[in-house]
Amino acid sequence: MNTQNHRSANSTSMVEAEYDPEVTLRLIASLPAPDGIENRVIANIRSAPPSRRVLNWPRLVNPTESWLRTAAAAAIVSVVLGGGWGVYSRIQPISTVALPNAGTAGGFSNAGAVRVPQTIPTPVVTKPASGQPAAAEPAKKATSRDVAGAHRQAAHKAPAHPQAAVGR
């Protein structure tokens, strides 16, 4: 048993010494092709349906010719450039674009809202009752005039009543 194992190990190491790892790949690469593969491929090609296009180019404008390809490429380039120039010449470039005022922190913007600080609480001015605003105003003016007139009258009347002035 031991002798058999020893012999097997010997033959394995001998084979490994003889066969470099790449020899295996080379052996695979050199395996012969099956007989008649060329004939089968040719038969397959002949039986393949012709790959006709729906629209064939006319013979006169054969797209395989190099000058025609160049001309077609030049035409495409000129059309693209012309179109671009046409658009550019019609549309004036916008000088300034008003951007929304984005927040500096990089987060959300204030969406145009303006903060209004709270005002200091002050006495609230109440308007007079809206019932007789027109009548009240002339009455007030008349009152002040009356007051002035009353003072004047009092001044004029003072010498007429000297006892009253002394009594005060």
Q: List residues binding other proteins (CB under 8 A).
A: 7-8, 11-12, 14-16, 19, 21-22, 24-34, 37-38, 40-42, 44-45, 48, 51, 59, 64
Give the CA radius of gyration of the chain.
57
User: What's the min distance (Å) between Cβ of 74 and other proteins?
Assistant: 21
Neighbours of 164 (CB within 10 A): 10
Closer to other proteins by CB, 38 or 130: give it: 38
Closer to other proteins by CB, 44 or 119: give it: 44
CA–CA separation, 94 and 4 (whole Å): 93
Q: Is 86 exposed, middle or buried (0-12, 13-18, 19+ CB in 10 A)?
A: exposed
User: What's the min distance (Å) between Cβ of 113 and other proteins?
Assistant: 59
DSSP character at residue 34:
P
Closer to other proteins by CB, 36 or 103: give it: 36
Closer to other proteins by CB, 39 or 118: give it: 39
User: What's the min distance (Å) between Cβ of 68 and other proteins?
Assistant: 13
Q: Is the dihedral of CA 133, 134, 136, 141 positive or negative?
A: positive
User: What's the min distance (Å) between Cβ of 5 and other proteins?
Assistant: 12
CA–CA separation, 59 and 84 (whole Å): 33
